[in-house]
Structure 1
Amino acid sequence: MTDNEPPDVFTSSRMDRLMEVLSKQQRRVILYRLKRDDRLQPFQESDALDNTDIELYHVHLPQLEAAGYIDWNRETGTVMKGPQYDEVETFLTLIENHADELLVTADE
């Protein structure tokens, strides 16, 4: 690696997957909530689902599960940390610890 070449972490497919997963607010919130709680129930099957819930069920939870960041029981609606959660948790902690240094605010 030369001085002009980025470290491997910048060009890895794992980093691409992580950035894709973290690109949507709904997924970031689920992953962050799992830092605090071992088990989540984003919605109950009997709840009337709105468009946000439908998107969560059909897009966001499957993507998080495919990446290995969550284990999702579709029958109960339960979401828990998946086998690759440590990978994303490290990044979430980094963001949380340096939030005041980031160039974003809650309203952007």
Structure 2
Amino acid sequence: MSPVLFQPRPRSEAPFEAAGDVLRVISDPRTPVFVTVHASGRRRYGYWQPYDSATNRGGCYVALPTPVCDRLHSEGRIMLGDPLVDPAKTTYRVWPTRTPATPIRIPVTPMHAAAQTLAA
């Protein structure tokens, strides 16, 4: 029996700390992110990283962690655009959701209660 050099981790155990980095990529308007849903049900989130001659990197597709993206989608933090249907797969554009600011609730004292407090 050969020694095991590494113990693979199931995809479902991906750390959710990466959510901030994933949201940063999805929120960047210069980086369109897509999810491809294959006929088998497998999903793959990713984007095209253009070539950067200064760092000699890029010019390739970059995959985002599927469990993190699925969790962001289930929590309503990202949404999918219109589908582009192909016989073997469906592709959606991934967008960040705009979370409305939570309204500040200020307790309002009725006028007659305020007048009674001042009179006392």
- What range describes the TM-score normalised by the shorter chain of this pair? 0.3 to 0.5
Determine which structure has the larger strand proportion and give its number: 2
Determine which structure has the larger helix proportion and give its number: 1
The structure with the largest alpha-carbon Rg is 2
TM-score, length-scaled by structure 2:
0.32
TM-score, length-scaled by structure 1:
0.35
